[in-house]
């Protein structure tokens, strides 16, 4: 399983670790991916989905505002 958010598409990216002496070495920045069971408001069914914490906050905000959304349409297919 890849560490990729199914809604936002966030995943692992590479960058450089920089020491005090400014020497650089490769490192990875991993997205904060959580596996959650969420209820799809459109169908009323529970879905298990891997999503980033920022996407989880967005869904929580939408629910508080009463916004209508469908988790099945939000999920991006991984290529």
Distances from the Cα of 60 to the Cαs of 10, 28, 41, 71, 79, in angstroms? 18, 28, 12, 13, 27
d(CA 62, CA 71): 12
Neighbour tally for 69: CB within 10 Å = 14
> What fold does the segment set 13-74 form as a domain?
Ribosomal Protein L24e; Chain: T; (2.30.170)
Instruction: Give the pLDDT of residue 76.
Output: 72
d(CA 40, CA 60): 12
Dump pLDDT digits (tens) for 1-52: 588 999 999 999 999 999 999 999 999 999 999 999 999 999 999 999 999 9
**Does the model's pTM come out above 0.85?**
no
d(CA 55, CA 78): 16
d(CA 52, CA 42): 21
Domain ranges of the chain: 13-74
């Amino acid at each position: 399983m890849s560490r990729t958010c199914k809604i936002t598409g966030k995943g692992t990216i590479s960058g450089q670790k920089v020491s005090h002496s400014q020497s650089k070495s490769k490192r990875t920045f991993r997205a904060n991916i959580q596996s959650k069971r969420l209820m799809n408001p459109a169908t009323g069914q529970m879905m298990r989905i891997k999503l980033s914490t920022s996407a989880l906050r967005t869904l929580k905000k939408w629910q508080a505002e009463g916004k209508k959304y469908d988790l099945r349409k939000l999920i991006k297919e991984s290529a």
